[in-house]
Structure 1
């Protein structure tokens, strides 16, 4: 088990390193594959031993080996956080003993798609359609794999539920966006949020979609209220909603929609 944890954390940090590249290049319409990693200040290629996640930054003391330009601490933070997220993917996998490996692999795919979406939305208020589309497709494939591989009694019903949820997430969010724009006179939700909601439906189904969006709304409202109360956000200043949807998706994937529903009933005084 210790070896598995170490391998997950290591590979997760490596994916976090690639995520940093995607987050930097995709908004600039650059290929995340070619050319290889290089210093944005001097353009010199990063040596392989300087590209080791977290450790490379620490050994370089946060500066380029060639031009000594500062390297943001965000790089190792993202790498370490990605490693932590990969470790957290074990939570639902260990609950699904008969589909442990499938559930783990699918969770790793999901979180590796969510992380760049969150970071790009925080930086640019933009959720790239290619990643959202890949998220929807992979969610449908993951659902099919888990439904048939897990021995569900009616796997076709499970798949249909997730397809309907994906379409519902897209249409409902687009409808809310149009309604909010009509009422407020300015966009309140981006179309990227609708596509991320479609991704939520593809991965989580109708019940999971409802739970994840509820978590997104509550967490987004709490952060937005705090931001306006402290003056960090202006009265009509937009802020990204994608990170909160991603948070809701991942929390629902980790604990399962029934677990969250039970917590909600307990909070409301039910049984």
Structure 2
């Protein structure tokens, strides 16, 4: 029953995430007006707005004008539900005490998912989401004691300064930034939730996966030379993986892979 409730709430938050991802880049309110068809403007009925199920019952089309509704909407709702379920399996949780870890993780993943989708769509990581995500991470860290809070505060500051410095250095050498400033702010968010060791491992994981995906994109021709692509999703992936398992666990897996 707990798993079902968590999955349902996760799907509902995924539905709201779709609204945030569509409206925030357009500087529209995420609250008013309510959900409506972007083509005909008709308000979506509550039973048509049920996560995943509503889309299936409608056959992927607006009830009023028949316009197609992208498959991405139910996909995001389903992904959100699965991510919420994965939050219950947390073993690390950035040093937070055990009873708080799953609930803090739900907040973290609710922040990461819209950031990932907006970055994919617009190559932009909204500063307000990153800033509030960092503040919430530090608030949760404060509940674990001064030692954890201090580590996470320093990690957030260092991640921001180091990545902004790296981006500036690359711009001088290569003529273009290696990372967007939003990536630095997302890394700072990760530092606030994971601490220094955690965000270091998260960035290593994100860079590794991003390099593989980027290389495949270049070889396949989907990415042109020097073409920018969203790096935020890889940072977010690293943050979530380290949140669930911890920096030490991932370091052990790396050593095992190399045969140490």
Distance 2:165 2:93 in 1: 36
Distance 1:175 1:78 in 2: 34
Instruction: Tell me, yes or no, if the aligned pair for 2:93 and 2:105 is still in contact at 8 Å.
Output: no
The residue that corresponds to 1:171 in the other structure is 161
Distance 1:190 1:233 in 2: 18
Give 1:93 shift: 5.8
The residue that corresponds to 2:232 in the other structure is 242
Instruction: Tell me, yes or no, if the aligned pair for 1:93 and 1:101 is still in contact at 8 Å.
Output: no
Alignment of 1:1-271 (within 5 A): 3-92=1-90, 99-145=97-143, 147=144, 155-270=145-260
Give 1:242 shift: 0.3
Distance 1:95 1:243 in 2: 20
Higher relative contact order (CA 8 A, sep 6+): 2
Instruction: Tell me, yes or no, if the aligned pair for 2:35 and 2:43 is still in contact at 8 Å.
Output: yes
User: Structure 2: which 5+ residue stretches go unaligned?
Assistant: none
Instruction: Tell me, yes or no, if the aligned pair for 2:92 and 2:246 is still in contact at 8 Å.
Output: no
Give 1:94 shift: 9.6
Distance 1:168 1:253 in 2: 19
Deviations 1:102-126 (A, max 9, x none): 1111000000000000000000000
Distance 1:221 1:95 in 2: 26
Give 1:100 shift: 4.3
Give 1:60 shift: 0.3
Secondary structure at 1:234 match in 2: coil
Distance 2:210 2:30 in 1: 30
Instruction: Tell me, yes or no, if the aligned pair for 1:135 and 1:199 is still in contact at 8 Å.
Output: yes
Distance 2:93 2:117 in 1: 29
User: Structure 1: which 5+ residue stretches go unaligned?
Assistant: 148-154
The residue that corresponds to 1:152 in the other structure is none
Distance 1:64 1:237 in 2: 36
Instruction: Tell me, yes or no, if the aligned pair for 1:93 and 1:104 is still in contact at 8 Å.
Output: no
Give 1:101 shift: 3.8
Instruction: Tell me, yes or no, if the aligned pair for 1:62 and 1:72 is still in contact at 8 Å.
Output: yes
Instruction: Tell me, yes or no, if the aligned pair for 2:156 and 2:190 is still in contact at 8 Å.
Output: yes
Aligned length: 259
